[in-house]
Structures are given as C-alpha cells and as structure tokens.
Amino acid sequence: MTVVQAADKALNATYHNKFRDHVTTQLEARGVTMVLGDSIDGLDANSLEGTVTLQSRTITTLGGVTLGADLVVRVDHYLLKVFP
C-alpha cells in the first residue's frame, strides 16, 4: 500500500507534528510506503471522487514518482465536514 499526501507530513495540520511523525513511522513499520509532499493529478473526472480501479495499473505523481496502482481511493477535505 502507498499513501500519497500533498502535505509534507501525514494527516493534516490539525494534529501536532509529533503525532503526525508517529503515524508515519507506524505506517511505514507495517509496510506502507509514504510519499509525502507530492500529489497526483490528471485522473479523469470519474476518478476524482471515491474509489476507482485503474486500467493502466500505474500512476505517476507530480514529482515524477511512478507507482503501481490497482485501486485509488481519494480522500478529500469534504470528509472532515461530514465526519468531524
């Protein structure tokens, strides 16, 4: 599993940096690859909400990192309003 996060730390600035760093460390210890300070662009309009299965099986971040991807789940800020 890979998490791509536009911010330079996991989660968002609502959480203290020490906690955000701890989350990153714990996820990486469990085999999750964290790509921080980067984002994904160029997905079609249908894939910008919820979950999408990719046909190409790869996705490239704006920073040039190419990742294998069977499934992309986009979590947007609107979830913070729905699930505070």
The structure's pTM equals 0.72
Range of the domain at 77: 2-82
Plot region of 37 (φ>0 → left; ψ -120 to 50 → alpha; else → beta): left
* pLDDT over threshold 60, residue 66: yes
Distance, CA of 4 to CA of 2 (rounded, Å): 6
What is the predicted pLDDT for the residue at 74? 72
pLDDT class of 69 with cuts at 50, 70, 90: confident
Q: Decide: 61 and 69 in contact? Cβ < 8 Å.
A: no
Mean pLDDT of the chain: 79
CATH code (residue 9): 3.50.50.60
What is the predicted pLDDT for the residue at 59? 83
Q: Which two tokens stand for residue 61?
A: 């971040």
What is the predicted pLDDT for the residue at 24? 97
Q: How many domains does the chain have?
A: 1
